[in-house]
Amino acid sequence: MVDADTGPGGSVPFEKHAKHVLHQVKGAFAEIIDALPGYITRPHALAKSLKIDAKLAWRIVKVAHGSDPFTSAQHIPGTAGIKVFLKAAARQNVPQSRIQPAWTAMEEFERLIDVHAGDRTTLEMMLLGYAREGRDQADLVQRRTAFGANSYIWGVQARTQLQVVFLHPAAEKGRLDIATLKGFVGLRRIHSNAPWAITRSRVVDDDGKLLSTPVREPLDPVPDDAEGTADIPLMREFCSKPLPQFRRVPGPHKILQDDLVEGEVGNTGAVTCITGDVTRSAATYYRAEHNRWATAISLVRTPCELLLFDLFVQEDVFGLIEPELAVYNELAGGPPVPPFEDRERYRMTTWESVEYLGKGPGVVHTPHVPRYSEMIRYALDKLGWNGRHLDVYRAQIQFPIIPTSVLIRHELPESPVE
């Protein structure tokens, strides 16, 4: 037994205590299974041998034969299930010398909960922080749950958040034009009085210094009768009809913010809204003292089922790159922009990565955005850029955490010597 009342601060460290107790539970369950007739490795064989429920047998086997006790802990049955298991083992003549250690191990498990967590749910979340296996799936379960809770709390949710960034040589030598498409597919209100920010924008260097007030040119011309959307660079062809209505408000840290106005709840009020704009000569594509990274950022502030983040890069700008995906939590507040080197302590574990898709609009099809390939071709036509020479990189995150900033970035090259 590990004495949980000794050690630094009056108790043994959590990881050490948990590892000892979980190995104790795992070993006790395995000893009981080994005492049964035959060679039992599968749940259905255990269920048949003990005449117990198949789901309970599955949980017992997951604990006894799992390779990572921190992951397997979530399968440890509750008190009622343990009683069924151990009484069934006794009926099959498993000796008390093997059954009693299981009772003792479960008493230690309950003590682990009381000392370090207070409840089973909190303990399981703490244990998963040390898991070697299955952490990605466990995280996804928690993110899915958070999506539902956040949808209710904030009063809005979306099927897909879309962020597309195009990097293309500008007319000015050594600089980039940056075009963006962004918005939501299937954005619906849970509460009717929930206004919601659809877009935010600003252009900064690695130190967070505002490089310029963004002069955004809409990809689509704005009609004269565009009341309620006149300041919003909507891609009208790819938005739901009637067009969603917005108001433009100044956001914090010199960020321009476009808010969706209040409206109907549920599916009948759902909207798809995509904006498209380009900023000319927005940034240099060479490294400088305060500009090391080419970084595309998607601000995740809306509960959504999927973030689809695509980066298009003109092939002769950087050549093929290996961009990384980084996610930073924004609970600390402040501008959701660089410098990120000073905020590494806020960087979150990311299981997803950036995938190279190939070149041009033909490789971008996705079921998550209607007419997406057509939308990309339409945007490129408006920009006058040749899509066949654009390398396409994609990151997808299911149930992204809010509030976070999601980055696709790579290091800029050194400026060539003249």
- Name 358's Cβ contacts closer than 8 Å, sequence gap at least 6: 391, 392
Q: According to the model, what pLDDT value does residue 6 have? A: 45
> In the structure encoding, which two tokens stand for residue 341, read together?
């080197």
> How is the beta sheet containing 246-250 ordered, strand by strand?
196-201, 256-260, 246-250
Least confident of 93-97, 283-287, 372-376, 378-382: 283-287
CA-CA distances (angstroms) from residue 414 to 278, 293, 318, 352?
Answer: 25, 11, 11, 29
As given in the structure block, the two tokens for residue 76 are 């440890």
Answer yes or no: is pLDDT of 388 > 90. Answer: yes
Whether the CB-CB separation of 380 and 359 falls below 8 Å is answered with no
Q: How far is CA 378 from the centre of its chain?
A: 29
**What is the rounded distance in angstroms from the CA atom of residue 176 to the CA atom of residue 169?**
5
- Using the predicted structure, report yes or no on whether residue 406 has a pLDDT greater than 70: yes
Tell me the per-residue pLDDT of 349-364, one tens digit each, with 9 for 90 and over: 899 999 999 999 999 9
Using the predicted structure, report yes or no on whether residue 376 has a pLDDT greater than 60.
yes
Q: Count of CB atoms within 10 A of residue 304's CB?
A: 27
Tell me the whole-structure pTM to 2 decimals.
0.81
Nearest to 345 by CA among 358, 361, 328: 328
For residue range 2-27, what is the model confidence (pLDDT) as tens digits? 555 544 444 689 999 999 999 999 99
Cβ-based neighbours of 143, under 8 Å, separated by 6 or more:
398, 399, 400, 401
Q: How far apart are CA 136 and CA 145, in angstroms?
A: 14
Name, of 159-168, 265-274, 283-292, the range with top average pLDDT.
Answer: 159-168
- Identify the CA nearest to 102 among candidates 87, 119, 118: 87
pLDDT tens across 115-124, in order? 999 999 999 9
Cα 232 to Cα 271: distance, rounded to the nearest angstrom: 15
| 198 close to 234: Cβ distance less than 8 angstroms | no
Lowest mean pLDDT among 73-87, 137-151, 206-220, 323-337: 206-220
| Cβ contact 278:219 at 8 Å | yes
d(CA 360, CA 314): 10
Instruction: Let me know: does 1 contact 17? Beta carbons within 8 Å.
Output: no
pLDDT at res. 246: 77
pLDDT of residue 413: 85
DSSP code of residue 67: S
For the chain, percent of residues with pLDDT exceeding 70: 86
Amino acid at 101: P
* Cis-peptide, bond into residue 223, ω within 30° of zero: no
3-state helix, strand, coil in the chain (%, to 5): 35, 30, 35
Residue whose token pair is 């369950």? 29
DSSP state letter for 236: G
* Per-domain boundaries in the chain: 8-133, 156-411
Provide the pLDDT for residue 252. 61
How sure is the predictor about 235, in pLDDT bands with cuts at 50, 70 and 90?
Answer: very high
pLDDT at 5: 54
